[in-house]
Structure 1
Amino acid sequence: MSSIRDGDTVRPRRQLTVAVKEGLRDLNIQLALLNRRFGGRIELKEVDWTCLDLIARYGPLTPSALARRAGLHPATLTGILDRLQRGGWIVRERDPDSTDRRAVTLRTVRERNAELYRTFAGMNNRMDEICAGYSATELEVIADFLRKTCAAGQASAEELAR
């Protein structure tokens, strides 16, 4: 069993693995709290903010593609999209590539981004400070770990959805 020196003690790999998992649980809680407060500041429900972030990150998206990414039933998504559109966060546009005239794509309203950036500025600045303390090689390892953790979470969510 491999081990890593931690101060004056040697911690077995299993203990370190448990510490990583506990750290991810703590991170999940803190990010949930941050997202809840962020949503409250910009007057969006958590699920609305999640959908807005997915559209901003992967859009333009069809409502069906967004429902799949968000793990939501399409009927649930309709109310969310109505709220986001009423709030001026997204627009629904006819899909020019579709033969179905009812088909739409969703995109964010770019003019609202400044408001989001201002609200998240504190967290973004803190993340920049944290990242500045790591070498490029260490950041590559961290980014790889986060990508793999995200993929594991996605696979687990899909498994639970079956």
Structure 2
Amino acid sequence: MTSVSNGGDPRHRRRLETRIKDDLRRVHAQLGLLNRQVGARLRIKDADLECLDLIAAHGPIAPKELAGRAGIHPATLTGILDRLETAGWIVRERAADDRRSVAVRTRPERLAEIYGQFAGMNDAMDELCAEYSPAELELLAGFLERVGRAGQMATAALAR
């Protein structure tokens, strides 16, 4: 893609790109506030809720892989997993073929509590998405996927 498609005004394009970046920062901040509210209602710390979300998305998962995905030191992760296990959100299981290997998984019966807290946001997103055509949703989904990959690459570069 060129910086100016279809002969458009380059200044207008830069303003739009800046607006997108600014809006993504605002969305990030707002979702952080939402997560803190949910965490407070469920008595789960921010980092714990983030790890719980990663476990739900990628579990069962080895603690080492979870630490990498969360960008958390393994010793810090141990404390998070201890709190989540004590509160009944997760289970640590030993692998049948390697007793030294541990996998972490969520307790599905508890996840409904979290989903209930996000119901208002999910309903709002359903209403918002209903305003877009399937083609527009494909474009938005692709854009957000690429934003996520760009974030992963930027994070990896900073971690080096």
- Which band: TM-score by shorter chain? over 0.9
SS at match of 1:144: helix
Return the structure number with greater helix share: 2
- Report the equivalent of 1:3: 8
Secondary structure of the residue aligned to 2:44 is: coil
Matched, 1:140 2:138: yes
1:88 has 2:88 as partner: yes
Q: TM-score, normalised by structure 2?
A: 0.93
Tell me the equivalent position of 1:30: 30
Number of the residue aligned with 2:75? 75
Q: Secondary structure at the match of 1:12?
A: helix
Give the gaps of 5 or more residues in structure 2. none
2:116 is matched with 118
Alpha-carbon offset, residue 159 of structure 1: 1.0
TM-score (norm 1): 0.91
1:96 partner SS: coil
**CA offsets, 1:5-24, max 9 Å, x none?**
xxxxxx71111101100110
| Residue number in structure 1 paired with 2:147 | 149
CA distance in 1, matches of 2:136, 2:96: 44
Matching residue of 1:7: none
SS in 1 for 2:116: helix
Instruction: Find the counterpart in structure 1 of residue 45 from structure 2.
Output: 45
Structure 1 segments of 4 or more deviating over 2 A? 1-4
Structure with greater proportional strand content: 1
Q: Which residue of 2 aligns with 1:102?
A: 100
5+ residue gaps, structure 1, are: 5-10
